[in-house]
Amino acid sequence: MSTKRPVTVLLGAGAIGTAIARRVTNGGHIVVADLRLENAQKVREQLLDAGYSAEATTTDLADPASIRALAEHAASLGPVSRVILAGGVSPSQADIPTILRVDLYGFAVALEEFGKVIAPAGSGVVISSQSGYRMPALTREQDALLATTPVDKLLDLPLLADGAITSTLHAYQMSKRANGLRVRANAVTWGERGARINAISPGIVITPLARDELEGPRGAGYRKQLELSPAGRAGTPDEIAALAGFLMGPEAGYINGTDVLADGGVTASWYYGPLSAGGAN
């Protein structure tokens, strides 16, 4: 039996993922991974200052070898008990191929690779987005293809081909829809190891990136979303972390393969309330 400390993997050194890592790690070691080492190092310093054991490294969600190396490294340190997949790019940060490669394909690879090393009784969470709920429903066959197509063939699907994806927003929505479907499918393989995987689809949560978006060219639309939502405000990283803490903890032991929409009611308003007449995506 291993005497090593349990390991938490945080892939994506943003405010939401960091808040979750602090909430779900008790006495273990946190591996902070990000595309940019300086981002990971900044979070590592914050964790060290708060009394956690942590290290920083680089991982590219667009590169399966990089993701595989992170999973193998984490497993070499001790039992991988918690996995937080919180990286990615937004519609305003990248072009269509990059969004699909990172937010759709990269997350699919990460779910598979960490599903090979997750410890018994371990758990993971994918931070997706409310945006996946804005796209019209897909067919049952399309859902199945996004959920179960082998990762090396995923980007070759016709519904992801040039011309089928019409904008960076559409690419992002499709990616986030796929996140939830892949979580559902991977719950089966994670379950074979006695582990669980779920997703959270947050609405607008105040982070440095969200603040930039709110002040950017699409900012008016985002502000309208918040004003006309039941909550009437944005969320906070700690609110998402509280939900993740529940989903990853023993109280949620019967929850596996689900996606929780946590958007303050924006999506409800989008379909059935003041935003239904037209608003920001």
Q: Is the pLDDT of residue 280 over 60?
A: no
| Of 57-71, 130-144, 197-211, minimum mean pLDDT range | 197-211
Write the pLDDT tens digit of every residue in 206-241: 987 777 777 777 778 888 889 999 999 999 999 999
**Residue 253 main-chain phi, psi, to 5 deg:** -60, -20
64-79: burial string, b at 16+ Cβ within 10 Å, e else: bebbbbbbebbbebbb
Q: Is the pLDDT of residue 1 over 80?
A: no
Q: Is the pLDDT of residue 3 over 80?
A: no
Task: Give the rounded distance of the alpha carbon of 213 from its chain centre.
Answer: 18
Establish how many alpha carbons lie within 13 A of residue 176's alpha carbon, considering only the half-sphere containing its beta carbon: 29
Q: Is the pLDDT of residue 281 over 70?
A: no
Establish how many alpha carbons lie within 13 A of residue 99's alpha carbon, considering only the half-sphere containing its beta carbon: 23
Question: What pLDDT does 277 receive?
Answer: 64
Residue 250 CA to residue 233 CA, distance in Å, equals 30
Q: Are 97 and 156 spatial neighbours (Cβ–Cβ below 8 Å)?
A: no
Instruction: Give 70's contacts (C-beta < 8 A, 6+ positions apart).
Output: 9, 11, 31, 33, 57, 59, 113
Q: Is the pLDDT of residue 70 over 70?
A: yes
Domains of the chain plus CATH, in order, are 7-207+236-265 (3.40.50.720)
Question: What pLDDT does 74 receive?
Answer: 98
Q: Is the pLDDT of residue 88 over 90?
A: yes
Q: Is the pLDDT of residue 279 over 90?
A: no
Question: What pLDDT does 207 receive?
Answer: 86
Question: What pLDDT does 92 receive?
Answer: 83
SS3 233: coil
Q: Largest Cα–Cα distance of the chain, in whole Å?
A: 59
Q: In what order do the strands lie in the sheet with 7-11?
A: 53-58, 29-34, 7-11, 80-85, 118-127, 196-202, 259-262
Q: Is the pLDDT of residue 2 over 80?
A: no
Mean pLDDT of 50-76: 98
Mean pLDDT of 116-120: 98
CB neighbour class for 139 (10 Å; exposed up to 12, middle 13-18, buried from 19): exposed
Residue 52 CA to residue 30 CA, distance in Å, equals 8
The H or E element containing residue 270 is helix 266-272
Give DSSP secondary structure letters for 47-101. Answer: HHHTT-EEEEEE--TT-HHHHHHHHHHHHHHS-EEEEEE-----TTTS-HHHHII
Q: What mean pLDDT, rounded, does the chain reach?
A: 94
| Of 12-21, 96-105, 205-214, minimum mean pLDDT range | 205-214
pTM assigned to the model: 0.94
Nearest to 81 by CA among 21, 19, 158, 171: 21
Mean pLDDT of 45-52: 97
For the chain, what percent of residues have pLDDT higher than 90? 86
Catalytic residues: 172, 176
The H or E element containing residue 33 is strand 29-34
Q: Are 145 and 108 spatial neighbours (Cβ–Cβ below 8 Å)?
A: no
